[in-house]
Structure 1
């Protein structure tokens, strides 16, 4: 400490006037001196004090006074050095204001991308490792204080610009090239300080991450969310634009995507995808074409073995995909009209138009939205019991609307009336029956069974499974009977045999038997009609509700040629034996 204790501090330090108007960087002084920041805010305020008057004040001893004098001299050197307004110049200006030992710790332990071991720094300074740890904390405090000083606003500005240039996450080699544009080496002290202030940036393997904003997580989240929203795949150009929007350096994106994701070229478009599953590959194909595709078109461009069934399953089971039409699929994110069925398209259109819509406009608009639905199919579905078309408008059928008019029961093939409570169905055993499929039956059967449009009824038998009959509204003239596979099996009926089902519409029960084709014609007719066939013609006429002109004509018109032949044979046999009449 100087012996001239009675002289003002400004007279003891050369060129003191250079810093007289500057704020005192209390961050570089012992923390206990911060209590004088209001009393002596500028160097000129301290310079007016003598060494004697300063040391007479609390917390300012000889050591603290020497620190004040050393800090002032470094501030003068910095002020007179004329640092250029460049990133390196701004960083050097701050570093040169720091005590040499603290600077060593700062540049070796606090700010570098690759900090030196504590023991190595301790050996350099000739102190214990614990001392390095304590002084590292002091170095951090001093750096924070200097960065708040108006004198170093230029450094803050250059650091913000550097953070913008580098982005949140980039290869260290690219960062080195960017720093070289300002004549800096990645491993220099000035570059380390700039990267620290800009982030701080931290090394992650061969990459640098802006740890302040969790740069790696920020980029990974942005990419993952974009791919997830796009069903696991996206055009590489789109993902590149998205990552640029997230702040990533343009030259870092390609390297990042290559290291992180899978890629393929489809229809001349480079596609980035997260996995090699069937679903993500489908999404990749759709993104490449940017339009709805058929199952066959998707399969052609997939480039991996896949069964059409697995494609159809992936498309129908994943929320990311929607049917854009009867035969094509699209990505949900495209926000195209969704197709589920022709009925759904008609119903949705009617609902969107307030409950009824002009029929011609409905047909035109739906066909325009779903071009692979034919006009004929639309008209067929619009004619089903689900809808009512009248006076040029179409609407949904309601519970208050009367049921649609249907043909009489005797027009239905294979149907016979036993009495007012029992009707009989003759149903052939087909491949569909053996597979367990239900089948369509005439609406007149449902009507005769007192089933309302859109409803169903179950008929029971203690020896067999129940039989369900429904009057469906999504077909033009059909009811539906459930599976008869177990019934056929129980009766030993095989392909080509005929099942006779007698429905008691009052009791909701049924009986079932296999037509015995080896029996005489009259007995077979009795099985079919449930009536006394001693007079075959009269019995059949009654079973057909006494139609005109004749029972045989009606049977042939409705397609029951075999039954008509049986009737003709039975009548001939009755005439021959004299037991009945033709």
Structure 2
């Protein structure tokens, strides 16, 4: 150290230090400096290291990190870059790369892009994104660059994320800077565009406004035209919501419903519902959506017995905490995620389960009988189809099927066939017609 210090503070090496500062302050690349001063890449006699590494070790004025020459070190240089960007960024933390280049000590866009990336920023479409701490912040930056609403998939592809698109989408709802302006479209809140709050809510706003103006309701064709044009929803969806839940649609006019919705479904005529363990239960084939925690649709015939109010969730107890059940939306029923029930049972995709509401007193999920349906035929296939084990002979199997449908075990064939037909169970009808007709 003592031998090198006189060389560092005076003479040719000291001149090199001054040259490095002149060409790299506050930040530059090692490649750039060694191109101007090739002697920095040479090893000093008796030292197994290039001169730049020795200078880096002994000179506190700068540091060389990750190929960057930084004064006095990389964190400070990065902070100075942040200070440089601060007056250039807009409300979403976006700056034009060309503006940054004009003010930067780095003299080409490619090197500047590398440095900005090292500092933790994102360079996209000749813009610098400083708000990269969260996916909603990145989405806001992308919208700012585009200057127009964008779909979730478009933003997801533009930003690039290790998260799933579903997780990315859910994160957008956590930002006050973003708002949904269509079924798939999002915009910056500051743009002041009409917010998409769901088809039912939008219909309600327009019906209430029409009634406030003295009209009996809103014309359905006008409603369809407006909502499809402004929010990109389908005409069929508008028509369906306008005649469901809080609304009625008669004579081409949509009004607020004056009588409550009634669930008129019956378990006897609901496909997938069978008598199991003495109660009506839903036989379900497990999908990826069940395993990842999505909600589960169930037939209205199962919830009709609980006298649920429209769009009024009910919580019922289970061995894994309370379970949410609701009848609403477009007249569909659903329960919350059943993932926590499936994991202890080691249920996999394609397995069958019974969903049992226990007449509203308890919620349970149990494995259903499993067999290779491809190996079964006739009544044995039909017994498996309703989730049970085939009997000793055809008469026993027939009784099992009839009882699963809520009929007596010796019910006439025409009643069994009629029940499957009323359920629109084409597979079962085809089997019965083949073996009975």
Q: Which runs of 5+ in 2 are unaligned?
A: 1-84, 105-115, 390-395
- 2:351 corresponds to which residue? 497
Alpha carbons of 1:362 and 1:276: their partners in 2 closer, same or farther (altered >3 Å)?
A: same
Alpha carbons of 1:469 and 1:443: their partners in 2 closer, same or farther (altered >3 Å)?
A: farther
Alpha carbons of 1:328 and 1:451: their partners in 2 closer, same or farther (altered >3 Å)?
A: closer
Aligned match of 2:150 in 293, 300, 307? 293
Q: Deviations over 1:498-531 (max 9, x none)?
A: 32344442x7236654333469959877959xxx
SS of residue paired to 1:480: strand
CA distance in 1, matches of 2:320, 2:132: 47
Offset of 1:360 from its aligned partner? 1.8
CA distance in 1, matches of 2:298, 2:263: 16
Offset of 1:321 from its aligned partner? 2.1
The alignment's TM-score, normalised by the length of structure 2, stands at 0.54
Aligned match of 1:465 in 288, 313, 320? 320
Q: Deviations over 1:176-204 (max 9, x none)?
A: xxxxxxxxxxxxxxxxxxxxxxxxxxxxx
Matched, 1:231 2:96: no
Aligned match of 1:392 in 230, 233, 252? 252
Offset of 1:266 from its aligned partner? 8.1
Matched, 1:431 2:431: no
CA distance in 2, matches of 1:467, 1:551: 36
Alpha carbons of 1:549 and 1:390: their partners in 2 closer, same or farther (altered >3 Å)?
A: farther
Q: Which runs of 5+ in 1 are unaligned?
A: 1-222, 237-253, 573-582
Offset of 1:292 from its aligned partner? 1.9
Q: In 2, are the aligned partners of 1:234 and 1:287 still within 8 Å (CA)?
A: no
SS of residue paired to 2:353: strand
Structure 1 or 2: larger helix share? Answer: 1
Aligned match of 1:363 in 224, 227, 235? 224
Q: In 2, are the aligned partners of 1:291 and 1:330 still within 8 Å (CA)?
A: yes
Alpha carbons of 1:359 and 1:429: their partners in 2 closer, same or farther (altered >3 Å)?
A: same
CA distance in 2, matches of 1:354, 1:417: 47
Matched, 1:515 2:380: no
CA distance in 1, matches of 2:127, 2:370: 66
- 1:478 corresponds to which residue? 332
Offset of 1:373 from its aligned partner? 1.9
Aligned residues: 315
CA distance in 1, matches of 2:174, 2:351: 40
CA distance in 2, matches of 1:413, 1:389: 28
Q: In 1, are the aligned partners of 2:327 and 2:333 still within 8 Å (CA)?
A: yes
SS of residue paired to 1:368: helix
Q: In 2, are the aligned partners of 1:326 and 1:373 still within 8 Å (CA)?
A: yes
- 2:403 corresponds to which residue? 539
- 1:380 corresponds to which residue? 240
- 2:260 corresponds to which residue? 402
SS of residue paired to 1:319: coil
CA distance in 1, matches of 2:169, 2:233: 19
Q: Deviations over 1:429-482 (max 9, x none)?
A: 333333333311122221122222222344445xx33573633322x2310123
Aligned match of 1:330 in 167, 184, 187? 187
- 1:554 corresponds to which residue? 419
Matched, 1:444 2:304: no
> Bigger radius of gyration, 1 or 2?
1
Offset of 1:344 from its aligned partner? 3.5
The alignment's TM-score, normalised by the length of structure 1, stands at 0.43
CA distance in 1, matches of 2:289, 2:122: 44
Offset of 1:387 from its aligned partner? 2.9
Q: In 2, are the aligned partners of 1:503 and 1:510 still within 8 Å (CA)?
A: yes
SS of residue paired to 1:472: strand
